[in-house]
Structure 1
Amino acid sequence: MRGPGVPARAMDARALAALAANPGCDRRALLDGAGVDKAALASALGAPAAFGQSQFAFVRGHAFEARVKADGGAELLRLVHRHLDPGAEPPERAHVPDLTAVGPEGRTARTALALREATAAGTWTLLDHPMLALEVAGSPAFLEPDAVVVHPDGGWTVVEIKSFPVLDGSADPAKVGAAARQAAVYVLALEEVAARLEPPPRVRERVLLVCPKDFSNLPTASAVDVRKQRAVTARQLTRLTRLEEIADALPEGVCFSPELPAEELTAAVEAVPATYAPECLAACELAFHCRARARAEGAVTALGRSVRAELGGLTTVEEVLAAARGEAGEADDPAVAALRRAAALRAEALGAAGQGVAPCP
């Protein structure tokens, strides 16, 4: 599906969190599962999205993470001890196991072994960029959290290191929320590893979020409860259609290679059903293409999920306007009745203002 010689693009926790937020979108599920580069695909379709970090932010983020993990992770473990486990013995030093292995499967197995050994040892252990696996729509996704800390009592904690600042003790709520959803994916993947051990260790549902303090490069941290995000993500991922079922419904030989002619590529993308919502603009590289298609078709999904939910079986703007004018729809339909009532109130308001009467917008 990617095209001959096109390498697979790995699915990360950020993509999984976005997919879980829109489980009805078969297009994103299939393209992510097949490892298609959606950014290159969007550019080939003529609807590129300005996505990802700037080079400056990327370099700054790596420099900050290196500072947090310097000296064997001493500062990071101090923050974990202070915010999540103050009753434990202070970490004098940490064991940082080597997680090097061949391929993602090898790294996943090496991570599982390191977690098992650290849990049995009962000492502070820092796993730097471990590799975890999580099954998504019948296909394995390999995930790489910034760090996982094993506590002396055997508990496991996910650590998220972000480069957005904490100013005067507070950070951007939207960015904190995105980090929490991403961390929840890692918690789910860690629970898969823990379930294979006997007895299963406790995966803590409070993660540590580490950010720069104010305008400096000094780290500050806070504990973030991700129980709600974990539950929502787990529920949404179970609702995803299996990739084989989506692929079986496609035309024979469908391909999403950016090298294809525009018409052929557009036909291939349109063969996979999409569920667009304005929230996709902040989470999917194909959002601008899907938005243009939704607008061209007059789909009410372009107006937002809440509006779509209120309109029931009315799926296009044309149907909505016809129902408001009394030209379509059943009068006992709650959505139709609400639209006609709104149209009548608007006409009454415009008439009272002396601006003439219009039956609907």
Structure 2
Amino acid sequence: MSSYPPDGPPQTTLRQRLADLRGPAVPPRPLDARALAALAANPGCGRRALLDGAGVDKTALAAALGSPAAFGQSQFAIVRGNSFEARVKGDGGVELLRLTHARLGGGAEPPGPDSRVPDLTAAGPEGRAARTALALREATAAGTWTLLDHPMLALEVAGTPAYLEPDAVVVHPDGRWTVVEIKSFPMIDGAADAAKVGAAARQAAVYVLALEQTAGKLAGAEVGHQVLLVCPKDFSNLPAAALVDVRRERAVTRRQLERLTRVEELAEGLPQGLCFDPARPAAELTEAVSAVTASYAPECLAACELAFHCRERAREAGEPAALGRSVRGELGGLTTVEAALAAAAGARADAGAHAGSGPGTDPTAAALREAARLRAEALASAAARPPYQAPETPECPC
């Protein structure tokens, strides 16, 4: 006799459902700060949210789909970055604390001999996270400048802790905590590449969220919404610092993490038996990935392992977003490239008619027809001009 209730067997728990999506024998891939920052860079992509929430190894999945993506820095960049970070943190972090005081010191006394750099060594990420939390409490209570070198922070993501390791966290004498991001790209004349600064801000916002979870359990602690970005000054190896406000990035990341906690809503409409195990045949994986809605944009190429696969599918479907988010926004109601080309070709069918004439004309289609007309006129004018002939070069008298 069945022991199930009258309405049938109990529903599969969310954890089991995510394990089934990942593959019963595949361990979950832990999220790091870069992955969480990439989520904030494309918050509308349900595919990435589901795969990251389920702990799917997207690198292995992309390789199994036949669209591997090579990520990571070159060995030269890694060596340069490590060398610069060691220089910034040398001598007990004196230079890094000086830069922090210069930018965020306020009325506090400058760092002195009593500044501390506690030892955060412990066994495993859980032990290191606990040791970091203890060091933060002790530094806040001591009221002295304290530098935490590569602390381990825990951030709850979809019900499980994700362990994150920022470059440094500085504790101010007044109890404020500041995240420090050390990057090897240059800061020329006080400004750095905007795209790289944006990526650093999204990554630092993840650390700020993790610090806020720890600060919420400790009276007198406050996490600053400005992070300290330290880069090489101009073309030297000397450090320069700038403040980056991450309130917007923090809000976006928080919303995306809340979406991950509701990953069951993303998995609810998927067919039973769907699995992203990289060991499965490529055709089966392609069908499984296609069942989850994606939001591809060219920026994904620098942040997501599945970007090449999604780009190919977006091009096959004629999605304007494959040309860029700005193009997609300009096209308005024209949801495919074919529709945009057809709208532009309308000028040839209506030869002699003024583009955009008539009531109810779609302004986007009218603009495309006008652009096609101007392009045709320019090409005709160029074709009517005689070919360019270079002037004769006089013979050298010598």
Instruction: Determine if the TM-score, normalized by the shorter chain, exceeds 0.5.
Output: yes
Q: Is the 1:23–1:239 contact (alpha carbons within 8 Å) kept by the matching residues of 2? A: no
Partner residue of 2:362?
A: 337
The unaligned stretches of length 5 or more in structure 1 are 357-361
2-structure distance, mates of 1:269, 1:235:
24
Bigger Cα displacement from structure 2, 154-163 vs 317-326: 317-326
Partner residue of 2:264?
A: 244
Partner residue of 1:19?
A: 39
Partner residue of 2:5?
A: none
1-structure distance, mates of 2:358, 2:301:
36
Bigger Cα displacement from structure 2, 166-175 vs 19-28: 166-175
Residue 244 of structure 2 is aligned to residue 219 of structure 1: no
SS in 2 for 1:157: strand
Per the normalisation by structure 1, the TM-score is 0.85
Across the aligned residues of Structure 1 and Structure 2, the Cα RMSD in angstroms comes to 3.1
Partner residue of 1:202?
A: 222
Residue 185 of structure 2 is aligned to residue 160 of structure 1: no
1-structure distance, mates of 2:317, 2:296:
12
The unaligned stretches of length 5 or more in structure 2 are 1-20, 350-356, 382-398
1-structure distance, mates of 2:49, 2:234:
38
By how many angstroms is 1:286 displaced?
1.0
1-structure distance, mates of 2:54, 2:272:
16
2-structure distance, mates of 1:343, 1:305:
18
Q: Is the 1:21–1:236 contact (alpha carbons within 8 Å) kept by the matching residues of 2? A: no
Partner residue of 1:179?
A: 200
Closer/same/farther in 2, CA of residues 134 and 205 from structure 1, 3 Å limit: same
By how many angstroms is 1:212 displaced?
2.2
Residue 325 of structure 2 is aligned to residue 300 of structure 1: no
By how many angstroms is 1:291 displaced?
0.6
SS in 1 for 2:154: strand
Deviation digits for residues 171-227 of structure 1 (CA, Å, limit 9, x no counterpart): 22221222122212211221222122234x221122111122334333222222323
Question: 1:264 is aligned with what amino acid?
Answer: E
Of 205, 212, 228, the match for 1:191: 212
Deviation digits for residues 99-138 of structure 1 (CA, Å, limit 9, x no counterpart): 3344433433332222122111111111122222334455
Deviation digits for residues 276-315 of structure 1 (CA, Å, limit 9, x no counterpart): 1122122112111101001101122223223333445543
1-structure distance, mates of 2:114, 2:23:
49
Question: 2:204 is aligned with what amino acid?
Answer: A
Number of matched pairs: 351
2-structure distance, mates of 1:347, 1:45:
38
Closer/same/farther in 2, CA of residues 305 and 171 from structure 1, 3 Å limit: closer
Q: Is the 2:320–2:336 contact (alpha carbons within 8 Å) kept by the matching residues of 1? A: yes
Closer/same/farther in 2, CA of residues 262 and 354 from structure 1, 3 Å limit: closer
Closer/same/farther in 2, CA of residues 24 and 140 from structure 1, 3 Å limit: farther
Identity, in percent, stands at 72
Question: 1:337 is aligned with what amino acid?
Answer: D
Residue 88 of structure 2 is aligned to residue 68 of structure 1: yes
- The structure whose Rg is larger is 2
Partner residue of 1:359?
A: none
SS in 2 for 1:208: strand
Q: Is the 2:33–2:207 contact (alpha carbons within 8 Å) kept by the matching residues of 1? A: yes
Q: Is the 2:114–2:144 contact (alpha carbons within 8 Å) kept by the matching residues of 1? A: no
Of 116, 130, 133, the match for 2:154: 133
By how many angstroms is 1:155 displaced?
0.7
Q: Is the 1:72–1:93 contact (alpha carbons within 8 Å) kept by the matching residues of 2? A: no
Closer/same/farther in 2, CA of residues 244 and 99 from structure 1, 3 Å limit: farther
Q: Is the 1:24–1:240 contact (alpha carbons within 8 Å) kept by the matching residues of 2? A: no
Q: How do 1:40-59 residues align onto structure 2 when only pairs under 5 Å count?
A: 40-59=60-79
SS in 1 for 2:44: coil
